[in-house]
Amino acid sequence: MTNEEARGPHPMRKRHPDQCGQPAFSIELELTLHRAFSLASQRDHEYATLEHLLLALIDDAVASALMKDCKVDVSALKANVATHIDNELKTQAVNDDRDPAPTPALQRVVQQAALHVQELGGEVVTGADLILAILEQTESPAVRLLAEQGVTRQHAADFVFNLDHRGMLKHPVQPEVVRRPNRRGRGRWQSPARKPSRGI
């Protein structure tokens, strides 16, 4: 039995769609979430935060494709996020063997990303979906760190809307998007040129 099997399922893991039709995490995203918790554990942090998640997402294939599409200096972003974690979150360090727990913000981001994919008719949640959900957390340092590299909700949303139901990029990204409220009055980003391709 491996150490991971001995600890039980990962707290954020969802490998298959559930009976309510909620989308599953891609294998890549499962590895990314595990990496985020490992980054917190390596520093003896009590919690896994959005900043740990963002640092892990830099090495996620789909999330990094979004960043490259936004012309992000990935090396600079990685250095800035790591510096923030090591300087601003060092008070989180604890001297025990407990695994890091996800912060409410991290849980909220994962849940919102899954809900958004479900609303688009998608089957798989990817790292790009999490980037878009992070950008909705306007008070988070992770948003500021992304903004410093020019990553906007508009560009992230346009990239995500170009993913098919399996989380694969289907069309070239169109830069122009407009914001429209959905049925619940919350803002959603939609491309004026075509309907979202998720679910096609």
25/20 Cα distance (integer angstroms): 15
List per-residue pLDDT tens for the chain, 200 residues long. Answer: 334 433 444 556 555 555 556 899 999 999 999 999 999 999 999 999 999 999 999 999 999 999 999 999 999 999 999 999 999 999 999 988 889 999 999 999 999 999 999 998 889 999 999 999 999 999 999 999 999 999 999 999 999 988 876 666 665 444 333 333 333 333 333 333 333 445 44
Which one, of 173, 131, 182, lies nearest residue 153 by Cα?
Answer: 131
Complete domains list, the chain, with CATH: 15-190 (1.10.1780.10)
The two tokens of residue 123 are 């089957």
CB 121 within 8 A of CB 41: no
179/79 Cα distance (integer angstroms): 32
What pLDDT score was predicted for residue 149?
97
Token look-up 């923030």 returns 84
Global pTM value = 0.77
What pLDDT score was predicted for residue 63?
96
What pLDDT score was predicted for residue 200?
40
What pLDDT score was predicted for residue 84?
98
Residue 160: partners with Cβ closer than 8 Å, 6 or more residues away: 66, 116, 128, 129, 132
What pLDDT score was predicted for residue 135?
98
CB 129 within 8 A of CB 157: no
